[in-house]
Structure 1
Amino acid sequence: MRTQCLKTGFTLTLMFAAFAANAADALPRVMILATGGTIAGTGATSTTTVGYTAAKIGVERLIEAVPELQKVAHVKGEQVFQIASENMSNEHWLKLAKRVNEVLKQPDVDGIVITHGTDTIEETAYFLNLVVKSKKPVVIVGAMRPATAISADGPINLYNAVALAGSKEAVGQGVIVSLNDEIQGARDVTKTNTMTGNTFRAPELGSLGYMVSGQAKFYRSSTRKHTSETEFDVSKLETLPAVDIAYGSANANTLAIDAFAAAGDVGIVYAGTGNGSLSTSVRTRLTELRQKGIHINRSSRVGNGPTVRDGENDDNKTDFTVSDTLTPQKARILLMLALTKTKDSKEIQRMFYTY
């Protein structure tokens, strides 16, 4: 009898071990590509939340700090670069995009998480949203408090991002920004507060959903084309066209746009007042620059709502394009990529209404 009980117990132990092994094998496989930022930052004290040093902690330490990651995915890490995100450049974007596309082609990768500084996270997200060639989830995550701070938000944000990147719900949703238990679409999200944890918002169009106890809950999707549906290919690009942003205000002058033109810009995004309004002197100068071949995109500094074509300017006459609901910083990204495909302003305007 005792021998039979021992055999039964041993059999049950093997069954449970096999079950645990199968459950572990069923976990998604997520690659974390680290780029630096506050999530990898350190402060002088545990209460330092301003004036800390970003991009100090490597990806392996970030992963080790959140052992719960192993419960939701098989996780690997790679340090692509280590910078504060205000230093993000076109060259960084191209390197990151190419690496993302390489990794997503691997059959043993189900999704990617990119750790990133919050200052330019929305721009990197939108750039990748236009050039990633896969429906696999790409989730960009950051933190508003450095890793050394009391109640640092990086660990829970990273946990949620890994769970989201490994979820079936995130497949085909485009590039996602995930912080503060929220799921935000790359096209519409923007940083709205310099300090608080709930800084990332899509103020008018809304978030895509929430992370609830490590589970993705989507309530809407973007209607604009993205990732595998776009016409942009950066695989052979080493540089991007020179495009800069000039900011409108009362008493606006043309010094900035003149400097950009003199520096060799092929495109200028003008963040006008109101619905992309232009002062008389600015309109005159931008029209002259367009006649010289520089592409002009009319955007708005307001931050919400569409910049309407032929609303505050006769765009057909001046041959300007408008940004639709893109912020100036995202309009710059789309104009750069558009100029890698065409110089036709009508085609470029189509792209602004498509993406």
Structure 2
Amino acid sequence: MRPPRRLRFSRAGWFFSGGSVLLGVAAIGTGNNLLFLMLGGMLGFITLSGWLSEQMLRRLEVRRRVARATAGAPSRITYEVRNGNRRLPAFSVEAGEARSEARGWIPVIDPAESGTARAETVWETRGVYPLKTVTLSTSFPFGLFVKERDFDVPGEVIVWPKTDRPVREPRLAGERVRNAGEAFAGSAGARGEYRGLRPYRPGDDPRDVHWKTTARVGHPVMREYERDRSRALWLCLDLRAEEGEMAEVAVEIAAGLAAAAVRRGDAFGLATQDGRVRPGAGGAQLERVLDALARARFRADAPRLEPPVPPAECVLVAAGAPGAGWGDVLTAAAGGR
């Protein structure tokens, strides 16, 4: 229901337009030719401003690039704006989401070239936020008015939960849990029996780099190990709770446990009522788990959580009262302690 183009007055524009009205009244009332001449000049400025701002926006195209964000931390949305006009550059272009105050600015976009604007925003809570409309605006040439144009650019941003919440290390009978799980033969991370060498993949542990071979071939080469079944840690997040502060604390506890497992070099997986993330290790595995946690939806009528291995071999994270039989339990009420 929004018009494709909108015009907003700046503070200077209000004063200038108001002065034009007063000058017009005075010119008509007195019949003074000098006042009519001044009025014509001011109206010409307004007309020229509207025409030039329209030329700045009419041939622009925009694309959005969204990086994953973390709740409560500043994140950037990047806009690539292309000027389809082959003769006129576009000056002073701002880009941002519709109905958002966050804007990125491009001073000039040459004809048939592209420019990049970056808008910084903060998402307070984790989740998946849909993005629909990008607004481009310009106050060129005189700053009297701001002309805006909307572009339909569907997308979404995934906001991860915080991973810096202090949590204790999981234990079973006083020892750190190294739980049974699905084996990933040859995946990087926790070490088992040596298998051989392979090219680097994102998320690999830097400690597994085979430096002699890397120096010889000119690109990273990694040692590959068989996954030891006894080293996969299963994190089970129970979604049977109402949405609220305790639910978000439980998600942050699970995220903190996953981040701690990465720092230790352990393999880990995640199970919720919504799905599972199979065991793995390294930064890429942490991203997969954080994606799943961002999408986790708490509800009181969720089914019972069925872990992929016996509950006694899992770590349960719960927002409410946990059941019995789990290897270790961390609750939101205890703050992960």
Name the TM-score class by shorter chain.
under 0.3
The structure whose Rg is larger is 2
TM-score, length of structure 1 as denominator length: 0.24
Q: Which one has a larger percent strand, Structure 1 or Structure 2?
A: 2
Q: Which one has a larger percent helix, Structure 1 or Structure 2?
A: 1
TM-score, length of structure 2 as denominator length: 0.24
